[in-house]
Amino acid sequence: MDKLGRLDIKATINNSKVVNIEIQLRDNKDRGLIKMAEEKHKIIKEAKEEVEEILSDAVIREINEFKQTAIWEENSAKYYAREQGLKEGRREGKKIGIEEGRKKGREVGREEGRQEGARQKQLEIAKEMLKNGISIEQISKITKLTIQEIEKLKV
């Protein structure tokens, strides 16, 4: 480097492509070096093209890594949001299911209670009718109880 001076490279990048590269030799002490570089324009041009390719590959690689990271982060965020949504949905569904189950249980319980109460009332009426000497057939017809059920009440 001491003999060649300093080489400055400046790259301009647009849409992940190198659009301009400036290569300058800087040496205030030896202007002959710059003249020699101009004479060797082909070599400098080839070097410039090689630098463009290297920088372009590096930039593209870095952009691709950035894109992959962004995609991974987006997918992670979506997965997390989905999992949270599923948890919340399960929790809400369970809550609704429990409430619906309780409501249905109360309805069934009330209905069974009404039926049991009505049956008990029929049996009480049938007992009273038996005490008053009404025939089993008559009691069965009025209370809708079977003859066997009424006969069990006699005992």
The tens digit of pLDDT for each residue in 30-67 reads: 455 555 655 566 665 566 667 667 767 777 778 788 88
Integer Cα distance of 21 and 82 in angstroms? 46
Residue 52 lies in a domain: yes
| pTM, to two decimals | 0.41
Residue 149 lies in a domain: no
* 3 in Cβ contact with 30 (< 8 Å): no
Work out how many domains the chain is built from and give that number. Answer: 1
- Pick from 118, 122, 116, 152: nearest CA to 139: 122
Q: How far is CA 65 from CA 53, 72, 74, 149, in A?
A: 18, 10, 14, 85
Q: What is the mean pLDDT of residues 65-76?
A: 90
Residue 143 lies in a domain: no
The tens digit of pLDDT for each residue in 90-115 reads: 999 999 999 999 999 999 999 999 99
Classify each residue of 95-106 as buried b or exposed e, where b means 16 or more C-beta atoms within 10 Å of its C-beta.
Answer: eeeeeeeeeeee
Residue 104 lies in a domain: no
For residue 138, the Cα-to-chain-centroid distance in whole angstroms is: 69
